[in-house]
Amino acid sequence: MKPLIDGSGYVVVGYSRLEFTGSVQHHGTFNSGWNKDAYIGILNNDFSVRKENVYGGTITGDDDDEFADVIEQSDGSFVCFGETKTPDGDFQSLAAQSFALFKVDSNLNKVWSKPYGCTLSGITDQNFVQSVDGGFIMAGMNNGPCGDGLTDYDGSIFKEDWLLVKTDSAGNKVWAKVFGSSGDERDVRVMEDVAGDIYLYGSSGEGDFDMISDTSWKNTTATGGDIFLMKLNSYGNKIWTKSYGGTGYEYIDAGFYDSFNNCLVIAGGTSSKDLMFSDAQHQGDDAFFMRLDTSGNLLQTKLVGGKGMDFVRDIFYGTSQSEYFLFLQTQSNNNGDMAGYTLNVANQIGAGGLDLFLCTIDFQGDFSMKYGIHNSTFDNRPIYSSYSNQTKEVLLHVGLAQDAFNLCDTSYLHTNSIKKPIIRRLVFEPLSFPEITKPNRSITIYPNPASNSISFTLPENFDKVNYQIKDYSGKLIQEGVYEEGGMVE
């Protein structure tokens, strides 16, 4: 769920297994109660439904389709990202499971749908961002050979690799890449900085192939799972890979590029208590927070938690340029960083439910809780969240057990035995976003037409490029390196 650009409500995406009534019709075999259809809805500010639609396959060809994220465009349309297994209807899956970009207009009518997939195996752990050039960058994990000549690294369908696909603004594929090691990669996420460089980050059980790290404690062999950060240029070519962690296991849940401070923010959970995460007061699995520069150098690390299990679900800008919102799930109660907080009242420390905290953390590592929701059962449901400068609010959309209440007024939201989604809207002082100038990435060829020689005007910060000249049949005629101010005969 995300606020609309004009502040008039929200857009929410996901899936439905139920038959819709009224103007919305289910495409697939809704009577089975199993197949998913992709869903998008527009809500008013009071969370009432303004309009909604579902998309899927025919009754004979329907399989699971769902949206995982959505980005509103400046013209009021929406580009949704998710996955599809359906070979017909609104989707046209390429494989057992494919990425899907799906554009709808402001009335939620389909504009286009583009699948991107592999031939033998499914794609999992999907996420995407809109690129500085208006296109889209999609990341996920795949455990089998892919199309376009891409294969996994060990030839095994049992080891997962990172898959990255770049498209233009119309969803047409520009390039695709696979990165991996001899072991399993996990938790892949993607972000892009203002210069158009791309960062893949996640965890891996091996330190070889693309995951080779220059970190001293690795010696090219990772522990059970460490954090890996890979920097690519805008064409998907690897610039460097770095790793971080200890002798325990690390996993990634969240991160983003901070354009204010030109740094990378990564958060998740760790069981390590040595090396980078050395902190004697922490005894269980803890949430971690990392801030790095765009060369991968550590600027700040922080463990957050107590004696129970703690991990970061999401992270966004805070209310100042040196503060972030952490969305934390925890079992810890009244100890460590949670001292003084009495949520999780129905459970002993380190067991039972997972409470939800909205916290802030600043550049000095100071940690403060702003809001909490109690959940007495071990209900590991995700917390979806966002900060909107337009509406000046934090939005929490979570799935919880029946006895959830909030720390602010301790009133019960509902007391029956049915689990329901809970939406909370919290208003904070807005963060002032400065205007960011995006670099020019275009290439100009002149003179055009030409018969003897040509020159190029290169993108900002580029002093040379590779070039190829082909005839109309695609045959390579000439290739080389062009330097700024030069000429190609």
CB 186 within 8 A of CB 225: yes
**Going by DSSP bridges, is the β-strand pair 263-270/383-388 parallel, antiparallel, or unpaired?**
unpaired
Q: What is the mean pLDDT of the chain?
A: 75
Q: Which residues contact 335 (CB under 8 A, 6 or more apart)?
A: 306, 307, 349
- Three-state secondary structure call for residue 113: strand
- Three-state secondary structure call for residue 211: helix
**Span 224-251, average pLDDT:** 86
**Span 30-53, average pLDDT:** 79
pLDDT: which is higher, 12 or 57: 12
**Span 352-357, average pLDDT:** 65
Q: How confident is the model at residue 346 (pLDDT cuts 50, 70, 90)?
A: very low
Burial of 286-323, coded b for 16+ CB within 10 Å and e otherwise, reads bbbbbbbeeebeeeebbbbbbbbbbbbbbbbbbbeeeb
**Location of structure tokens 């904070």:** 428
The whole-angstrom separation of Cα 48 and Cα 479 is: 59
Q: How confident is the model at residue 336 (pLDDT cuts 50, 70, 90)?
A: low
pLDDT at residue 358 greater than cutoff 50: yes
Q: Over the stretch 404-416, which tens digit does the pLDDT of each residue have? A: 444 333 333 334 4
Q: What pLDDT does residue 279 have?
A: 61
Q: Over the stretch 381-400, which tens digit does the pLDDT of each residue have? A: 555 566 665 566 676 665 54
pLDDT more than 70, % of the chain: 65
**Span 235-248, average pLDDT:** 86
Q: What pLDDT does residue 280 have?
A: 55
The whole-angstrom separation of Cα 430 and Cα 278 is: 35
- Three-state secondary structure call for residue 482: strand
pLDDT at residue 368 greater than cutoff 90: no
Q: Which sequence spans correspond to the domains of the chain?
A: 2-427, 444-483
The pTM score is 0.78
Q: How confident is the model at residue 79 (pLDDT cuts 50, 70, 90)?
A: very high
Q: How confident is the model at residue 275 (pLDDT cuts 50, 70, 90)?
A: low
Q: Which CATH superfamily is domain 2-427 in?
A: YVTN repeat-like/Quinoprotein amine dehydrogenase (2.130.10.10)
Burial grade of 236 (CB within 10 A; 0-12, 13-18, 19 or more) = middle
* DSSP codes of every residue in 316-330: EE-SSTTEEEEEEEE
Q: What pLDDT does residue 158 have?
A: 45
How remote is the C-alpha of 461 from its chain's centroid? 28
pLDDT at residue 237 greater than cutoff 60: yes
Q: How confident is the model at residue 161 (pLDDT cuts 50, 70, 90)?
A: confident
pLDDT at residue 246 greater than cutoff 90: no
Q: How confident is the model at residue 32 (pLDDT cuts 50, 70, 90)?
A: very low
Q: Over the stretch 101-150, which tens digit does the pLDDT of each residue have? A: 999 999 999 999 988 765 444 555 678 999 999 999 999 877 655 543 44
Q: What pLDDT does residue 119 have?
A: 46
Q: What pLDDT does residue 184 have?
A: 77
pLDDT at residue 77 greater than cutoff 70: yes
Sheet holding 9-16, edge to edge: 2-3, 9-16, 37-44, 49-55
pLDDT at residue 421 greater than cutoff 70: no
Q: Which residues contact 276 (CB under 8 A, 6 or more apart)?
A: 244, 245, 246, 298, 301
pLDDT at residue 164 greater than cutoff 70: yes
Q: What pLDDT does residue 344 have?
A: 46
pLDDT: which is higher, 376 or 442: 442
pLDDT at residue 347 greater than cutoff 60: no
pLDDT at residue 376 greater than cutoff 70: no
